[in-house]
Copies of this chain bind each other. A is one copy, B any other.
Amino acid sequence: MRTLQVKLGDRSYPIYLGEGLLARAGEFLKEAGCGERVGVVTNPTVAGLYLKPFQEALSRAGFRVTSILVADGEEHKSLKSLAAVYDQLIRARFDRGSCIVALGGGVIGDLAGFAAATFLRGVPYVQVPTTLLAQVDSSVGGKTGINHREGKNLIGAFYQPRVVVIDLAALRTLPRREFLAGLAEVVKYGIIEDPALFALLEEKLERVIALEPDLLEEAVGASCAIKARVVEKDEREEDYRSVLNFGHTIGHALESLTAYEKFLHGEAIAIGMTQAASISVRQGLCDEESRRRIGLLLRKAGLPTEIPSLIRVEDLVKKMEVDKKSAGGKVKFVLCEGIGKTQFCWLSAEEIAARLSA
């Protein structure tokens, strides 16, 4: 087991990472000072796989567990689901000392975290991510929230968990396509901050995809460590935290233009990163060899790297302009300077279009 720390003063918390940690959740919750009452928010798919043993593990440690199920899928990260979670917390007479546990992927983590942030003006919560994407990204850093029909994550709060428990064994039941999409975010950490992680993936990708425990721990641990450092520098995304959006400006626009149906998040980000690397080369920031390595690694992982021909560059650029990170007609782009270093760059619609079409 590996232990990392997210250092945020009185909001600091540990990340535990290893195989079989679901069974040890009770001990981590106790250590985090959680009260006796625990509400486990999860979805039917994850519940079918893990809820029973997870509940038993908590009960053995003396916790009284209420399970709260939310339907599966991004469309249920909604105000309606949130209201249903509140209703169940109130019906079960949860109080300020009660604790919420998010057992699942990013949808569950974001929704349960936001419920915790706002129930009785804030109760403790714990992230137990079961997808690779949630393990390396959404479970760490305290971004919680729900979608609005006009856009994703428009409603939410920065609210840190008390502890993050990452059981790498849960990845064995994750569909391969979802695992590979999650891997796109791991590649991202390599590009923005960690040449050694990038090289590890280049060298041992097959073994990571085969879920070799040591390599998984190394890849997920390195990702979480980078995420933690970035969040420590800029918890509320006032500036530097947006480095995590490398590949996301184009990626979000692609997801939105394809109605969130064609691509998993990580797949859209894989295309976005490849294109961001190309723009970086054309801006004179990135060498051609690094760009080539990025595209190659993503393709080796079975991820898409090209903008589908049916999508028009002008539509893509228009979407970026309404993104919540745009301002004054320019879009804040994260570009890379080779592998392991980034630079922020404000680009106009015309500049992006020209560099994407070149």
Contacts and interface: CB of A to CB of B under 8 A. Distances in A.
A175 to B, nearest CB: 30
B324 A154 contact: no
Contacts of A257: none
A86 B327 contact: no
Interface string A204-239: 000000000000000000000000000000001100
A315 interface: no
Interface string A109-139: 0000010011111100000000000000000
Contact of A143 (B121, B144, B151): B121
B155 A117 contact: no
A27 interface: no
A247 interface: no
Q: At the interface, is chain A mostly helix, strand, loop or mixed?
A: mixed
B155 A119 contact: yes
Give the size category of A's interface with B: 20 to 34
A95 interface: yes
Contacts of A144: 121
Interface in A265-308: none
A158 interface: yes
A156 interface: yes
Contacts of A87: 148
Interface string A58-101: 00000000000000000000010001001100100001110000
A86 B154 contact: yes
Nearest to A237: B121
A83 B79 contact: yes
Contact of A157 (B86, B122, B150, B236): B122
Contact of A154 (B90, B157, B236): B90
> Taking the full assembly, how many copies of this chain does it contain?
2
A130 to B, nearest CB: 24
Contacts of A338: none
A324 B121 CA distance: 12
A97 B145 CA distance: 19
Contacts of A154: 86, 90, 119-120
A90 B157 contact: no
B158 A121 contact: yes
Given A79-B79, A90-B150, A118 B155 contact: yes
Contacts of A122: 157-158, 236
Contacts of A79: 79, 83
Contacts of A90: 148, 150-151, 154
Nearest to A158: B121
A154 to B, nearest CB: 6
Nearest to A145: B121
Leading 8 A-B pairs by shortest Cβ distance: A121-B156, A90-B150, A118-B155, A121-B158, A121-B157, A118-B157, A79-B83, A86-B155
Given A90-B154, A121-B237, 4 more contacts: A86-B154, A118-B118, A118-B157, A121-B157
27 contacts: A79-B83, A86-B154, A86-B155, A87-B148, A90-B150, A90-B151, A96-B324, A97-B327, A114-B118, A117-B157, A118-B145, A118-B155, A118-B156, A118-B157, A119-B154, A119-B155, A120-B154, A120-B155, A120-B156, A120-B324, A121-B144, A121-B145, A121-B153, A121-B157, A121-B158, A121-B237, A122-B157
